[in-house]
Chain A
């Protein structure tokens, strides 16, 4: 293969990439335009919150508890070297509220809810249900996709908050009940160091952004999937890969914007 061959190929790849990116942006705008309409028929959104949110509570709570346990143990191990084991509460709460809560919830969300969204939409497309809706002059974006997007955006911050709350409880169980840190110090250090707006508020903003990202990627992949069993399978895989990478990279950007300057 010659260099003259390689260049057009690179160009084609870049144009195709930009085309897909632009297409995704238009798709997002299209969906957002349909969100007000789905607000008017809220029972559709409620059904999606039920499917996305309620069924994720158990996995979120279990993971949060486990992460809280681990943070408690590892944090104590490091902090006790400096004789600062009372700061364990602060360490657990800050890491959960700022980073681990939103990020781990988003990763679990992509695996738990994103995949099912992609598979559902992909199969609807493969079974030509979406095409049938269009024939009946029902916009599938309004009837099917927008309620799911809204449901995901509403469910994610609530799930992330549950994750953090359960995680802090896990840290309390390990730190105070098992290791024996003074409970008063545990809570007062936490309350002294965690700020409502800067830490809890920014964590919620983060999880909102991740909610949009994960749900949107899942819906886009499902809607764009090839209408074959392999196509749906590949789209489901791509959903997990793309949303996980997007969440981790976005998290870096958001952290840099939100927390780069120490107060």
Chain B
């Protein structure tokens, strides 16, 4: 075979390989779903972030409006410091509250934003003041058991 013929076939092979990689990145993985466009960072402190992970979605009314950029522990307040990248085209009032919610009963956790009513909007670097921690199943069960025990004790006294 001529050198040109071989080179054409190799070109085809390499092209097919790159198409396969692109297919894996775009169709199988989440490259296309990642927020492109410009974003602005907002932080929020939570008493307990539960199982929230970086790159978890930030949703408002169920619509994904951004992603969690990083999670760290605030050394002063000992709260979880969550940095979120919100898409520029979505603006939220300054008194918006953030809560950590779970998709489904045992699904992945995400940050839910509940817009407030103030006129001024959150700007880059702002902190969301009102937050609601993740629901930790163990605490919930513990609380339930405690309540049951308290009820039982009250009935016994009668």
Q: Which residues of A contact B32 (CB under 8 A)?
A: 191
Among candidates B7, B18, B28, residue contacting A158 with C-beta atoms closer than 8 Å = B18
A57 on interface, CB distance cutoff 8 Å: yes
* A196 touching B20, Cβ below 8 Å: no
CA distance A161 to B21 in the complex (A): 5
A122 on interface, CB distance cutoff 8 Å: no
B129 on interface, CB distance cutoff 8 Å: no
* A158 touching B30, Cβ below 8 Å: no
Q: Which residues of B contact A162 (CB under 8 A)?
A: 16-17, 20
Q: Distance in Å from the Cβ of A162 to the closest Cβ of chain B?
A: 4
Q: Distance in Å from the Cβ of A210 to the closest Cβ of chain B?
A: 15
| Known A164-B20, A194-B30: A49·B13 in contact at CB below 8 Å | yes
- The interface on chain A, measured as residues whose beta carbon lies within 8 A of the other chain's beta carbons, has a size of 32
* B13 touching A165, Cβ below 8 Å: no
B27 on interface, CB distance cutoff 8 Å: yes
Q: Distance in Å from the Cβ of B108 to the closest Cβ of chain A?
A: 8
* A158 touching B13, Cβ below 8 Å: yes
Q: Which residues of A contact B25 (CB under 8 A)?
A: 196, 200
* B20 touching A158, Cβ below 8 Å: yes
B6 on interface, CB distance cutoff 8 Å: yes
* A46 touching B7, Cβ below 8 Å: yes
Q: Which residues of B contact A195 (CB under 8 A)?
A: 29-30, 55
* A54 touching B29, Cβ below 8 Å: no
- Which of A158, A159, A168, A199 neighbours the largest number of chain B CB atoms within 10 Å of its CB? A158
Nearest-neighbor residue (CB-CB) of A158 within chain B: B17
- The B interface is mostly helix, strand or loop, or mixed, namely helix
Nearest-neighbor residue (CB-CB) of A52 within chain B: B13
Among candidates B6, B13, B19, B28, residue contacting A190 with C-beta atoms closer than 8 Å = B28
A222 on interface, CB distance cutoff 8 Å: no
* A53 touching B24, Cβ below 8 Å: no
Q: Distance in Å from the Cβ of A154 to the closest Cβ of chain B?
A: 8
| Known A157-B17, A191-B33: A47·B6 in contact at CB below 8 Å | yes
The residues in B between 29 and 75 inclusive whose CB is less than 8 angstroms from any CB of A are 29-34, 53, 55
Q: Distance in Å from the Cβ of A36 to the closest Cβ of chain B?
A: 20
Q: Distance in Å from the Cβ of A71 to the closest Cβ of chain B?
A: 13
Determine the interface band of chain B, counting residues with CB < 8 A from chain A.
20 to 34
Q: Distance in Å from the Cβ of B137 to the closest Cβ of chain A?
A: 18
Q: Which residues of B contact A33 (CB under 8 A)?
A: none
CA distance A190 to B75 in the complex (A): 37
Per-residue CB proximity of A47-78 to B under 8 Å, as 1/0? 10110011001000000000000000000000
Nearest-neighbor residue (CB-CB) of A43 within chain B: B3
* B10 touching A50, Cβ below 8 Å: yes
Q: Distance in Å from the Cβ of B58 to the closest Cβ of chain A?
A: 15
Q: Which residues of B contact A199 (CB under 8 A)?
A: 29
Q: Which residues of B contact A47 (CB under 8 A)?
A: 3, 6
- Which of B16, B29, B53 neighbours the largest number of chain A CB atoms within 10 Å of its CB? B29
* B10 touching A46, Cβ below 8 Å: yes
Q: Which residues of A contact B31 (CB under 8 A)?
A: 196
Q: Which residues of A contact B108 (CB under 8 A)?
A: 192
* A53 touching B30, Cβ below 8 Å: no
B149 on interface, CB distance cutoff 8 Å: no
- Which of B7, B28, B53 neighbours the largest number of chain A CB atoms within 10 Å of its CB? B28
B9 on interface, CB distance cutoff 8 Å: yes
A187 on interface, CB distance cutoff 8 Å: yes
A97 on interface, CB distance cutoff 8 Å: yes
* A54 touching B10, Cβ below 8 Å: yes
CA distance A199 to B21 in the complex (A): 12
CA distance A195 to B14 in the complex (A): 23
